[in-house]
Structure 1
């Protein structure tokens, strides 16, 4: 919790919502707070934001028992077809959070600098396997005595060179880098050239992105 996933989704909707047809699914145990926050931010039409209340660990609902999320995505697709991008937000904060490849095509994993500079070195499937690792709130690093640049570098080393982005929503250049990466993923999917990183086959669906 508090890593900035909802704020990141707000950025995506704000900057890409005018050029892509988007929708959002949020996940939590017994609340729709994240969905309400996104609706209140006004970054996307409220009816395009749906909440899944899992009643149990949200990570199970994105990885093992994905039915509730698939149904939410399918409902959005039926209501707003065609959709270019559906963002599925995982609730909670867990280094093991990974998305089923039957649910999403790409995963963005978000770390907060306030969690400590050493957290990126702990690895785990969430950090290691996500398509993009975001080291978030880099503007706060000086206040929590963390070297954000070192976190990004160590993240790249932990991930074998896979993409890592230091992000601050007050730094237009880092926000632009995130948007470029996301546009590239959508273009890759549209071209038919996207290859899932997980060996489990993907179910046919529109392009989805997950934030864990």
Structure 2
């Protein structure tokens, strides 16, 4: 289900050449509720792009390093390029309010393995309000899945409304959970006012290629200096019945 606002697939970007100055990696946050497939999205991106990009990953769990162990066992990156943060508290806090542990992890990876092209930062599973601080990431992916219900996209929330890319994941499960993917994606596009939406299944090579192309395009804009981090958080524009003072 292609989205015209997504870039077309292109050859993988290469790491910085010997003639270019070292640059800070593009930092991309991946947020969304528990079980929506955030770790699977990270694994898919690494499988598709690590051959042509220098990549690293930071995962967040409250009390474990389970997501990091999943990625290491999948063999998508060298194990020392996957760093686990155990937040010990609300996962939203660690990506938005007190980002120090995540920022330290990102900077440590860049210092140890740089120059890197991309660092992916996975939030711990949170609710529809989870968004990253723009001080931590340059672009944000928000993930829903069809098993969570076809009505979730139209319920809105900062991540759904304002993330740089909304992924409606696990579309291959739609027949088993009674969800109309076309309707769910249409609701998501309406809520997002033209920002890109991607219907994704890791079993569908076309949608995987679109996801990889989005990251390539975002990296190109980061390198060109035209990517401006946006904050889709609670203070993003909104409307309701009474006026602000």
TM beyond 0.5: yes
- State the distance in 2 between where 1:69 and 1:156 align: 30
Q: Deviations over 1:102-122 (max 9, x none)?
A: 000000000010000000011
| 1:177 aligned partner | 210
Q: Deviations over 1:2-22 (max 9, x none)?
A: 111001100000011011100
- State the distance in 1 between where 2:139 and 2:128 align: 17
| 1:108 aligned partner | 141
Q: Given the alignment of the two structures, is residue 28 of structure 1 paired with residue 49 of structure 2, yes or no?
A: no
TM-score, normalised on structure 1? Answer: 0.92
Larger Rg: 2
| 2:47 aligned partner | 14
| 1:78 aligned partner | 111
Number of equivalences: 200
Shift of 1:198: 2.6
CA RMSD of aligned residues (A): 1.2
Match of 1:95 among 124, 128, 132: 128
Shift of 1:161: 1.2
| 1:3 aligned partner | 36
Match of 2:163 among 123, 130, 144: 130
Alignment of 1:133-172 (within 5 A): 133-172=166-205
Unmatched tracts of structure 2, length 5 or more: 1-33, 234-245
Q: Whose helix proportion is higher, 1 or 2?
A: 1
TM-score, normalised on structure 2? Answer: 0.80
Shift of 1:94: 1.0
Structure 1 consecutive aligned stretches of length 4 or more whose deviation exceeds 3 Å: none
| 2:86 aligned partner | 53
